[in-house]
Amino acid sequence: MDVAVVGSGLAGFTAYQTLRRELEPEQIAVFGLEDDPAATFRRRTAAIRQREMRSESDGHCLPTSFPGLSFRSAVRRRSLAPLVGTLGNRYHPTVDEFLAHVERLRERSGWERSLVPTRVERVRAVDGGLELDDAGTFAHVLVATGHPGLNVPDELRGDPRVVHSYEPHDYESTVTVVGAGLAAATEWLNALAAGSEVVSVRRREPKRRPLNVPREYFSRPGLPGFPRLTPGERAARLRELLSPSYPPGRAFDEPLARAMMEDRFRVEDAVNGSRQVICATGFRCGFRHDPVLARLVDEHALETVDGWIVLDEDGSVPALTDARRTLTLAGAAAQWAFPAADTLSGAKYVAHGFLARIRACRTR
């Protein structure tokens, strides 16, 4: 084997589907403890009672955008409605549809034949490639270790009222939700539907946009100016792009407006005396919170800026990638290269760049 994927979650799984266009399962080693690539996603969406994907028709794990989930849904339902919905970006697959899609791909792609049920703790550059613990040396490695843990503000750690939104929970009679992104907005509605009085505590007002980042950042044509930014400018742009947001529309606005009229929903500056505090504060950010990436940076003196590892435009690590080997980062760790890297579309973007590197190396 020359190719390894470190991480068996959705980013690693999506990269695997792209690699399978040219490689057999026996040519790819996937290192991870979860045989179900959607296991973490499944637990987190269940915790916040999420029913629809924020992504649109191309929010899937296949290597190419078309045919997307709307086309497959139209065939299955024998209805044009999903396809019509895509014209105005109004089609959003359900979580169940997405999970069924992952399971179908898992069964037919040879995933289990590539999976090595081991956690990799160290990626080290050596003569001839990249060494993964004692599992061997590989010419091409994609690291997709996922988010480095749930984020809970320091001042709330140890508070017995606190639960993270992505952990299983019910709702008390009075609930404070900390955060302002989609998870927070979903929890506002969940708690209101459960009969709770809800307080929203946020550092800043959320942006209202359909996707995690502006739509133009999901495609290569939308990126021309991004790689030309100075490191400081790029870090500032990423902080702006990745600020909390949730979709516009009546699905959120009407229940919240009604609850405000009933004095069951309000915004405050700080956590108060609510019986329950839900931290919808997402994930820890920065390579320092990921042991594999932190060790990689320290051992190889990699260039970093404000918690991001500096990458080439295709997500590869410049200091450890050349004509003979490739080290690529995927998921949130690849946002330096592609702001929407922490999405299924972003996983495909990075995976195609990784495959191009492998192809170029094999043809020399």
| Digit-coded pLDDT (tens) for 184-222 | 999 999 999 999 999 999 988 999 999 999 888 887 776
- Whether 363 shows a pLDDT value over 70: the answer reads no
Residue pointed to by tokens 């005396």 = 273
Predicted confidence at residue 91, as pLDDT, reads 77
Instruction: Check residue 344 and give its pLDDT.
Output: 92
Question: Which residue has 């703790």 as its token pair?
Answer: 121
258-269 average pLDDT score:
97
Predicted TM-score (pTM) of this structure: 0.93
pLDDT at res. 55: 84
67 cis-preceded (ω within 30 degrees of 0):
yes
Residues 175 and 192: their CA atoms lie apart, in Å, by 9
Q: What is the mean pLDDT of residues 230-243?
A: 94
Instruction: Tell me the CA distances in angstroms from 301 to 59, 124, 146, 293, 296, one per residue in order.
Output: 35, 12, 22, 11, 8
Q: Say what the pLDDT of residue 333 is.
A: 97
pLDDT digit string, tens, across residues 13-63: 999 999 999 999 999 999 999 999 999 999 999 999 999 998 877 788 988
pLDDT single digits (tens) 108-151: 999 999 999 999 999 999 998 999 999 999 999 999 999 999 99
Helix residue ranges, H only, 110-249: 111-114, 182-193, 231-241
Q: Which long-range contacts (CB under 8 A, 24 or more apart) does 79-86 make?
A: 82/57, 86/56, 86/57
- Residue 65's pLDDT band, with cuts at 50, 70 and 90, is confident
**349: closest CA among 359, 338, 357?**
338
Q: What is the pLDDT of residues 85-109, one digit of tens each?
A: 675 667 778 899 999 999 999 999 9
Spatial neighbors of 188 by CB under 8 A, at least 6 apart, are 177, 198, 200, 252, 256, 265
pLDDT averaged over every residue in the chain: 92
Please state, as a whole number, how many other Cβ atoms lie within 10 Å of the Cβ of residue 191. 27
| pLDDT value, residue 353 | 96
Residue that the structure tokens 């043809």 belong to:
363
31-53 core/surface letters (b: 16 or more CB in 10 A; e: else):
bbebebbbebbeebbebbebebb
State the Cα–Cα distance between residues 52 and 93, nearest whole angstrom: 6
Query: Bridge-partner residues for 208, per DSSP?
Result: 246
Provide the percentage of residues in the chain whose pLDDT is more than 90. 79
* pLDDT for res 326: 97
Provide the 8-state DSSP code for 283: B
Cα–Cα distance, 280 to 164 (Å, whole number): 6
pLDDT of residue 215: 84
